[in-house]
Every structure is written in structure tokens, then in C-alpha cells.
Structure 1
Amino acid sequence: MSKGVGRGLRPWVIIGSLVLAPPVLAAEQGAAVDNARPASESFRRTTEEAAALAGGLAVRLNKSSLRDGDLLVVTVDVPSAGYLNVVSVGPDDVPTVLFPNRHHSDNRVAAGAFGIPTEKMKFDLKATKPYGPTLVAAFLSTEPLDFYQDGAGERDVQGRMHEQFALLSASSRRQLENLATKSFAVTPRAAPLLGGMAYALVCAASGPCDAAAMAPESGGLPLAERLVPGILLDPERELPLPRGGQLRPVYDKGIRLTKLSEGFVSRLYNDPAGYCTIAYGHLIHKAPCDGSEPADFRNGVSEPQGETLLVADMSGAQSAVTRLVNIELSDGQYAALCDFTYNVGAGNLQSSTLLKVINAGEHHRVPLQLARWNKANGKEYRGLTVRRQREIALYFEGRPIPKALPGGENLTPIDIRVGE
């Protein structure tokens, strides 16, 4: 059992911004976390990533915006029996294990709606400082997994936690990341972990409480490195609908991948090329933001509004994949190619060796060809490398990824803004 840095907490209340400590202590803990890890590796970011990669779990809050002192109820729709862990990460990046806890230590749950706090807990979730967006993420595992038992915090001689609630430990975080990655690579039925998340915006008792700020900026890239998706930069032209007049939908795992890769920004910003952009890379116009943007965008957008924009923008990639790929694709293959095309553009897909390889049925060459597309504006990006790895995992969903290196394969990196 590891010993942590936690202190005794008031036993009758859980602080509703979900940091579980007096404000001064919360700030100290948050600073320690921030100083220990780069911003791109924050607890909030990795918890978001794990929930997005695992997927399949609905998390609901009784309120999306809470004033200081308001009560919060978290409900998780559990699809099947398993082991439930619920984690909150406040604006100070302190990761708290809400469930299980010392009041309700057994985290084996049955299928159905599961509400927190439970009757065993005998306390309320109350909103208080620090103010700002708080992430609430839930994870359901098929095998025993207990973030409270393995959490960070002081323990007695029997190894029992002193605190009512534990902080997510570094080892639990790594375990969460590994399980989420495994779950993304297999079919939903075989996934060892399901995940889901929701945001609560915690505000002062009076004053503004902006719903557009509910979901904080997400994604590992700073604004200076966020590129407008290639599909939105392709020459504008009418694309014929596929036979039957309707686009094949991208299934949930593919949408989660695109959202995770693009990252969400609720406000207007200029991408590195100076294009005015918002949400999941949605292009407003090919010029810097200048105040002429529609009022709905000037006021910012919520995450659900951003997802609506993304789904509409994705249609160009769906149409391109449908028109250009002449073999039958599985849901995972189709979703992976739609994400790729959304990122690099239909023109680059059309002229790519990747497309020729797929249409020839040479799937063993797909990993190497996808992995080549990891540069932008002459620079290799880790974010693009990770995105390609996830597309490969999705393309071969539930099947082994080919490892053999075909002779004579061109492995030269490709710039997504140039193509082959």
C-alpha cells in the first residue's frame, strides 16, 4: 500500500467542486500536481482521454451549472454488472476518487442507473471553490478495479485510508490509461473497460455563470499548433451522395477518436495559418477572427454544439471515403478512414498510396502507410503520430495488427498539408 499526501477531511461533507479539501489545501495540492507534470499530461487530460477511448458509458449530472452551495447528483447508466470507479478533476487538476470511498467501499455494481451519493454515504455533494469547470468521469471494469483502495492518501497501520476519499494515484492512472487503450483496440463486447464523462460548471453564488465555458479547452495541443482539418480546406465542390442518397454514419468510436484528436475550444481562435476557428476545428472563415463572425460564435459554443458542428463537417470525409474506396469496409475501417480523411483532406486521400493499398485489398500494408502521415508544415508532430496509431488500432479493431515489413515499402514521412 502506498502512503500519500492527503490530510484528514471533514467527514460530513464532500466539497462540490469535488476537490475534497479546504480551498487553501486544494490549491496547494493542485500546484503540486501541476508542477510535477506538463500541462499536456494533466490528470484532467489523461482522464478525459481514458473516458473517450474506453467509451460506452453514459454519465449524467442533475445540473450542468451549479452555484456555490448547490447539490450535485451523479448518475451512471451501468449496462452490465462490473466494478465502478468515479473520478472528479477540478479546475486545479486535483483528481479525487468519488466512488468507491470509505462510506461505500464495495464498488461491485449491478446493471441499471447508479446514483451518487448512495444511501450508504450519508452526505451531499456540494458545489464550492475552486470555481470553474469540473470533470466527472466514470469507469466500469469487468475485472476488480478499486481506485480508492489503491489511491493516494495517508493510511493507518492496517493500510486503511484515513480520508473519506482518496486521490487518484499515479499507478491507478497508468492502469486506467492501459485499460482504455486496450478497450479501444478491441470490439465493444470484448472491452475490459467502459468509460464516460460529463462536466459541471461551478460558479460563485452570484455573478456570471457562462455555460459556454462548461467544457474547458481539451486536447494536448496548444492553440498555436491546432490546424484546421484538411477536409475543410479542400476546394469547395459539390460531392455526389453515395448510392441510395444517404451517407453511411460513422459509429461512436470513430466520432470519439476525432473529438479526442481535434480537441475542443469553446471560444473563437486563430489557427497557425491565421484562420478563424472554433470548437473541434470548425472553420469560420479563411482569415483571422475580426469580430464579424456570427453572434452565436462570438459568444462561444458549448461542447454539444461543437459536436453538432463536427458531425456536419465530417460529412465531407464520409462522402470521400464512400466514393473513393471500392472495397467493403468494416465499421472500424470506415471510421478510421473517415478520421484520417477529415484530418488530411479528400484530395490527399485520393492521391495517396494508402488508398491504392486499400483498394487492392493489401491490408497488411495499411499500418505502414497510415503511419507515414505524421508531419504538418514540415514538422513531425507527436499528436499526429498518436492519431495515426489510434486509426490503425481502429482499422484492425479486434484483430491483430500486421507487424511484417513488406519489401520495398516507401516509409518516407508525409506532410498532411502537402500530400504525396
Structure 2
Amino acid sequence: MPNIAKIATGAICSVSVIIGIVLNDYTNDIRISRAGLELIGDAESCINQPYHCPAGILTIGIGSTTGEIQPRKYSDDEIARRWVNDIKSAEQCVNQYANGKKLSQSIFDAAVSITFNVGCSKMRVSTMYGYLNRAEYQKACNELPRWNKSNGKLLNGLIIRREKERLLCLIDLS
């Protein structure tokens, strides 16, 4: 979660509004479920002005770090569009490197969430993706808590996020 104290007043936007826009306007563009969107949105929060995330990366909206980020306030529609593009990239990574098309919805959602957060270049060579490719789903889900640091520093927000991802991942396995 961003350092709210450093963000200008009025810069907070509503994750639920953005999810509503995504589900209304972009349902055919992405596979992730409402549960997956809510997990990512709750973990990232929504800020409509550029800020630096805990890793020091310039960010906008719901965790978007891709493309040009201008020093201005972004509309809900712009944030939703950016988020969908970022989600699509994470989904493409899961599909290409983790056998995503064969994953259950909950495992797919958890894999997309961590990929959205960590990035495809790190995830595609991860032990977790290896387990997903071998259909060792419980082992894959149990890898999630290992990804709890940013720049080598243990972050409480990542500990919480990874446990939520792990629980979502395991839903279809119980």
C-alpha cells in the first residue's frame, strides 16, 4: 500500500468503483474473477495521482507501473483501462508460462495476482510456476507466502496479501 501521508488530499479513488467499471466494460477482455480483482484492488488500493510504491517505482491507479505516467490526476475510466491492460499482461504471463488455461479459476486468480504484483520476468522462472506446469497445485499455492519482501525488506502488507492469495489458490483443492 502506498504511503498515504505523502499523497495529496483527494487523491484516493474507490477500488469498488474501478472494479465496477472493469466488470461492466471489460468483462470480455479478461478472465480474472471479481474475487481476483478484489484481492488485487484491496492490496494495491487506488490512488488517482502518481506516487512511488514501497519499491520506489512510480505508480498510478491500482498498482499500474507500465506506460507513461504523467504528473496529473487520472479519471476512474483511465485507471480502469490501465488496470485492465496490466491484468491482461499478467494473465498472458500465467497462460504462457504457468499453463494458465488449465488452471481452475481460483488458482488462476491467485497466480494473476502475484504476477501482477511481482512481474512476469520473475514469476516465469519461479518454483511456483514450475509446480503449476506440473499440476502440483497445492505445492504451487504454498509457494505464495515466500514472496513477502520488497527490495529485500519484509513487508506486512505483502505477508497479508500472500496469505489471501494462498487461501484463494487453495479453495478448489479442498
**Which one of the candidate residues 162, 166, 173 is aligned to 1:388?**
162
Q: Is the 8 A contact 2:64 2:83 kept in 1?
A: yes
- How many residue pairs end up in the alignment? 154
Residue identity matched to 2:129: L
- Amino acid of the residue matched to residue 255 of structure 1? L
Q: In the alignment, residue 324 of structure 1 is paired with which amino acid?
A: Y
* Counterpart-to-counterpart distance in 2, 1:303 and 1:248: 18
Aligned partners of 2:172 and 2:104: how far apart in 1?
11
Describe how 1:272-311 pairs up with structure 2 within 5 A.
Answer: 272=54, 274-283=56-65, 293=70, 298=72, 300-311=73-84
- Specify the code of the residue in structure 1 equivalent to 2:106: G
One-letter amino acid of the counterpart of residue 358, structure 1: L
More helix by share: 2
**Distance change >3 Å, CA 353–CA 252, structure 1 → 2:** same
> What TM-score do the two structures reach when normalised by structure 1?
0.33
Q: Which amino acid aligns with 2:39?
A: L
**Percent of matched pairs sharing the same residue:** 29
Structure 1: unaligned runs, 5 residues or longer: 1-39, 41-211, 220-245, 401-420
Q: C-alpha deviations, 1:346-378, integer Å up to 9, x for none?
A: 111111111111222222212321111111111
Match of 2:110 in 1: 336
Please say if residues 30 and 84 of structure 2, whose CA atoms lie closer than 8 Å, have aligned partners that are also in contact.
Answer: no
Report 1:257-406 matches (<5 A): 257-272=39-54, 274-283=56-65, 293=70, 298=72, 300-326=73-99, 328-397=102-171, 399-400=173-174
| Secondary structure, counterpart of 1:389 in structure 2 | helix
Larger strand proportion of the pair? 1
Counterpart check, 1:256 vs 2:52? no
1:219-230 to 2 correspondence within 5 Å?
none
Equivalent in the alignment of 2:25: none
280 and 398 in structure 1: CA distance in 2 versus 1, 3 angstrom threshold: same
Q: Name the SS for the 1:311 alignment partner.
A: helix
2:12 aligns with 216
Once residues 88 and 168 of structure 2 are traced to their aligned partners in structure 1, the CA distance between those partners, rounded to angstroms, is: 19
8 Å CA contact retained: 1:247, 1:319 = no
The answer to whether the 8 A contact 1:276-1:285 is kept is no
Answer yes or no: is the 8 Å Cα contact 2:127–2:140 preserved in 1: no
**Whole-Å separation in 2 of the counterparts to 1:253 and 1:260:** 10
**Cα distance in 2 for residues equivalent to 1:379 and 1:218:** 28
Indicate the SS of the match to 1:281: coil
Contact 2:106 2:172 (C-alpha < 8 Å) held by counterparts: no
Distance in 1 separating the partners of 2:57 and 2:127: 29
The structure, 1 or 2, with the larger RCO (C-alpha pairs under 8 Å, 6+ apart) is 2
Name the CA distance, whole Å, in 2 between partners of 1:267 and 1:393.
32
Give the RMSD, CA atoms, in angstroms: 3.0
Letter in 2 for 1:395: C
SS in 2 for 1:351: coil
CA distance in 1, matches of 2:165, 2:89: 18
Could you tell me the TM-score, scaled by structure 2's length? 0.74
